Amino acid sequence: MYKLSYGYFIILIFLALGVTACSLSDINTYNNGKTATAKAKQESTSYYPEKRTDKAKNVVSADPKSLQDDDFEVSYRSHKIDKNTDIKELIHKWGYSEGYDSFNRGYISGNGIYRRWNLSYPNYEDSEIRFVVLSKIEFEGEEQVDGESYLVAVSLENPKFETKRGLKIGDTLGEVLQLYGQPSIVKNGNVIYSKDGQHLSINWDTKTEKVNNIFIEYNMEKSVKQQRSGDYVEEDAQPDPDLEPYTIQREQSFTTTLNGWGEVKFISTLKDEDTNDLIQAKFFLEVNSDKNVENKILYEFPEFYGNNGKMIDRIKAVSFKDLNQDGRTDIVIIADYITGVNAHGIETLPVAGIYFQKKDNTYTTLPELDKSINQTGHNRTLQNVIQYVSKQRINVQ
């Protein structure tokens, strides 16, 4: 998982997803490694937050040309900035700018091998543009210096700078969609357009519905892998191969007791797929211990029904309940998936999926049942799902 030192930087790119924990049965909430008892709640449609759908009458419809490499270019001081920009050439031309030393040399995060930092112009107090850089740490005598360096990303922070298609801070989300069309990824407050490992991330203020930051990633994946590899060397530790690519949704992760497993942690996660940038949900059982153990992951659940070609916005609800009266604990999941984005925000719909526990205590899915639950609209609350399933004859071996 990402270290806390990365948090400042990652938050700049992606705002955390909002999630709401809910369950019909008494469960223990897993929160920062501590366990707290959650009381059973009577469900109703009002128990869940409203769907974040656009209520405006006019939905933006645009069909602009597909992204090109030059869509990720910007110009600053008549200098073209792109994925091949030589950061040391920029420093040679413009220097480090006022505030570099007082802002800890632009430090964002680092270890004994790499440092991630930002170069801010015209100064660090009133930035118009920021260049995020990854540098290999070298020494000249006892002085630490930046060795091999490359441009990771650029942040536009002043409306006088535009993207290649003319987008600038202060524009509306409607103008974003007119210029770029439907995005590759939508997250709270962000629409992201991607091509060949480059990403144009546009953050808007959900109250004013105006763009407040434009962030262009050139070599983000490369920089994260390099810096993370340095962390493991420095700490003499190995990453968790199962959970490292995932972001844990703590408000939908619980400590619970399951047949055949005893007391375990049920972990809800989201992951950006490398192949098509779809945000997918994944679930795990983990050892219920804060102690360091060699293998924390006990079990990886089968593919979630809601991942079926959909981009998951958030995991909305989890319930542990014996649905088919066989004495084993089944698990109901409800998520929201993104149907589109318009001039005022994202549109979502619910999708439900069930994991049935088998005799050997592992879990399986019944895709035809999941399909029926969702096609008939019995997917909006846990109570909807449970009532519908209770009327079916389900036999899981």
With contact defined as beta carbons under 8 Å apart, do 354 and 365 qualify? yes
CB atoms within 10 A of CB 112: 11
* Strands 247-248, 34-38: pairing kind: unpaired
pTM: 0.56
CB atoms within 10 A of CB 261: 17
Given a cut of 70, whether residue 268 has pLDDT beyond it is: yes
Task: Express each pLDDT in 169-192 by its tens digit.
Answer: 999 988 999 999 988 888 767 899
Instruction: Tell me which of 46-50, 70-74, 91-95, 332-336 is least confident.
Output: 46-50
Confidence tier at 349 by pLDDT (50, 70, 90)? very high
Cα diameter, the chain: 76
Tell me the mean pLDDT in the region 184-212.
87
Instruction: Tell me which of 106-110, 124-128, 293-297 is least confident.
Output: 293-297
Given a cut of 90, whether residue 315 has pLDDT beyond it is: yes
Contacts of 119 (CB under 8 A, 6+ apart): 87, 90, 91, 96, 97, 100, 106, 130, 131, 133
Task: Express each pLDDT in 36-53 by its tens digit.
Answer: 323 323 332 222 333 333
**Helix ranges restricted to H, 168-241:** 173-180, 220-235
Average pLDDT, the chain: 79
Q: What is the pLDDT of residue 8?
A: 39
CA-to-CA distance for 2 and 194, rounded, in angstroms?
A: 22
Q: What is the pLDDT of residue 338?
A: 85
Q: Between 318 and 59, whose confidence is greater?
A: 318
Q: What is the pLDDT of residue 274?
A: 52
Given a cut of 60, whether residue 25 has pLDDT beyond it is: no
CA-to-CA distance for 27 and 24, rounded, in angstroms?
A: 9
Q: What is the pLDDT of residue 142?
A: 73
Any idea where the domains of the chain sit in the sequence? 10-55+240-390, 69-223
Distance of CA 365 to the CA centre of its chain: 25
Given a cut of 60, whether residue 209 has pLDDT beyond it is: yes
Q: What is the pLDDT of residue 230?
A: 56
SS3 172: strand
Given a cut of 80, whether residue 373 has pLDDT beyond it is: yes
Given a cut of 90, whether residue 362 has pLDDT beyond it is: yes
Given a cut of 70, whether residue 143 has pLDDT beyond it is: yes
Given a cut of 90, whether residue 33 has pLDDT beyond it is: no
CA-to-CA distance for 4 and 1, rounded, in angstroms?
A: 9
Contacts of 161 (CB under 8 A, 6+ apart): 74, 75, 76, 128, 129, 168
CA-to-CA distance for 188 and 206, rounded, in angstroms?
A: 9
Given a cut of 70, whether residue 353 has pLDDT beyond it is: yes
Tell me the mean pLDDT in the region 61-66.
70
Q: What is the pLDDT of residue 7?
A: 42
Most confident of 41-50, 256-265, 286-295: 256-265
Q: What is the pLDDT of residue 44?
A: 26
Q: What is the pLDDT of residue 229?
A: 63
